[in-house]
Amino acid sequence: MSTVDQTITQLEPPPQSEASATIVLERYRLMRRLGAGAFGVVWLALDERLDRVVAVKRIEAHDPEMAARAEREAIAAARLNHPGIVALHEAGRDAEAVYLVSEMVRGKTLRDRLVAGELSDRDVARIGVALCDALSHAHARGVIHRDIKPANIIIPDNPDGEAGIVKLTDFGIALIAGDDALTRTGDVVGTLAYMAPEQADGSPVSGQSDLYSLALVLYEAFSGVNPIRAPGAAATARRVGTRLPPLSQLRPELPQQICDAIDWAVQPEELDRGSLAELREAMLEGLPETDTTAGAVDVAAIEGYQQEDLLDYSEQAPFDRSLSVPQRLIAAAAAAALVAASMLALEPIAGAPHLPLLWTAICALLAVALLPRIGALVVAAALTAFFVAAGVPGWAVLLWAGLVPAVFLLPRDPSSWLLPSLAPLLGLVSLALAFPAFAGFSASAKQRAVLAGLGFWWLALAEPIAKSRLLFGELSLSADWASSAAAGGDVVIAMVAHGVPLVALVWAAAAWILPSITASRLVFVQLAAAVLWAAALTAASVVLAGALDWPLPMPQVGVLVAGSAIAALVALAAATLRENR
């Protein structure tokens, strides 16, 4: 049911002659015409059998396209039963028209609420969570909406629970699993200004297409501007598929995790967008930090920005703007440090190829800074070739054993793929325990946990290569393990068998909860909490290692104290940064 058609607060009733006399499907008395769209007329009606008010959409049956859309909407809606989706009660037809009978939702569209300045950032975040839930329900039942836009989202006047604060409607162009007629390539339907690039190209669509459209709706709701919409259809079409300005550029006061999640979800490539679950998580996590003041967005001011600055934005962005400059620099520094440390570690090995250390590290830094995804893989491939040429293919196995989990666990953030390598580098100066606190700088809970857990994994993998104690020391290995790729695989298996992933989970949990531990606005309370957190992390790591009966010597007391102290200071710095963000 079209949201525009169901908005009953802004439409005048037609002349009395149009209403109250017609009964359709032998039970629905058409009382008042609410509105008309391209695909039918919507009426406020009375269900005389059940004595309730409903909305009836009437679609002319003589138009095959409109009749097919009506049937598609009925089939799609019949599969769905969710408080965030307008419920379909019945579908039927007579000689003249097809009728879709749905619940009557009294309220305004999201577009109307935004134009009226009635929503706060907190409201938009809550709406985002509810829409993620509604779309997840639809996707799980094989229905892809394909026309997510503010005009198809109702904000009820009297919502029924948190899940019902929005009502997603108009499934007339939905893609339904198993319907071959709706999955043909080249079937371009939807609203261009909110359409995913693959949908605009006529390529097969998926749930990722709805994710893109939803994120674009939230982008507009938070910023007041749709950066795809331009004067005229042709200009709009040219913008479809371009990279958008980071949301934080328009709304720097928004929680960073919300901006990052939306920026990721509007990436042109489907695989770079993350998921509805991740977008929902970011909305929930940033919700407490959002402003509750209605009408915080100055739409008029931003419209000028749109016209002058957004038109040529894609030409101004030679690389992926979804990754900030600090992220790129940190990732690039990690790559350079990894290359330099690897080359220094190989110096004592006879026959190791000689390369200029400084220039090689600089090349790695530039590659990752400019192209994080490709650069990280190029650095890994180059190190692999270098290790094989030096006669230590076992090292290459350990390198990929560390990188592959990062690629799979952080698919949308290539700038973080090499960051776990900083943990063993910190271990060289007895500060490995501080790495989970560094991971705590990340705004996303998932990213904090993944980075911290992978940091310990990389730390354990680096112990045999470093031939020195980075934290716990290396496992008992054969002297020539590095000369064989198979022996390198045995090292990885031994790490898993001795419970390295369990300690990695402890680090992940510590990074996950760090923001809540240091949430107080009182500095002395934050400091005390950071110290206790660092001490608990240190104790838990040592106790678990002992409980697993690792054949490893425990770290020296000085290493534990130094790492724990730096971890506390870094945790305090992370808390201060979040507070001032």
In whole angstroms, give the CA distance from residue 45 to residue 393. Answer: 75
Based on the number of CB atoms within 10 Å of its own CB, is 12 exposed (0-12), middle (13-18) or buried (19 or more)? exposed
Q: Which residues sit opposite 90 in a β-bridge? A: 101
In whole angstroms, give the CA distance from residue 398 to residue 312. Answer: 44
For residue 58, give the nearest of 50, 48, 66 by alpha carbon.
Answer: 66
Handedness of CA 263, 265, 266, 267 (dihedral sign): positive
The H or E element containing residue 254 is: none
Residue 23's alpha-carbon distances to 8, 67, 99, in angstroms, are 20, 20, 12
Q: How far apart are the first and last CA of the chain?
A: 41
Q: Which residues of 461-491 are buried (b: 16+ CB within 10 A; e: fewer)?
A: bbbbbbeebbbbbbbeeeeebbeebebbebb
As given in the structure block, the two tokens for residue 395 are 């090292």
User: Catalytic residue at 147?
Assistant: yes
Q: What is the CB neighbour count within 10 angstroms for residue 546?
A: 11
In whole angstroms, give the CA distance from residue 203 to residue 82. Answer: 29
In whole angstroms, give the CA distance from residue 530 to residue 572. Answer: 6
Q: What is the DSSP string of 189-228?
A: -S-GGG--HHHHTT----HHHHHHHHHHHHHHHHHS--TT
For residue 405, give the nearest of 464, 456, 337 by alpha carbon.
Answer: 456
In whole angstroms, give the CA distance from residue 207 to residue 219. Answer: 18
As given in the structure block, the two tokens for residue 177 are 């699993």
In whole angstroms, give the CA distance from residue 227 to residue 292. Answer: 25
Q: Using alpha carbons only, how large is the chain's radius of gyration in Å?
A: 29
Residue 85 DSSP class: B
Residue 46 DSSP class: E
**Among 112, 123, 147, 413, the one annotated catalytic:** 147
- Spacing of C-alpha 315 from chain mean position: 25
Q: Are the beta carbons of 242 and 268 closer than 8 angstroms?
A: yes
In whole angstroms, give the CA distance from residue 148 to residue 344. Answer: 54
Q: What is the CB neighbour count within 10 angstroms for residue 274?
A: 22
Residues sharing a CB contact under 8 Å with residue 162, sequence separation 6 or more, in sequence order: 126, 130
- Residue 270 identity (one-letter amino acid): E
Q: Are the beta carbons of 150 and 217 closer than 8 angstroms?
A: yes
For residue 100, give the nearest of 138, 60, 73 by alpha carbon.
Answer: 73
| Catalytic residue list | 147
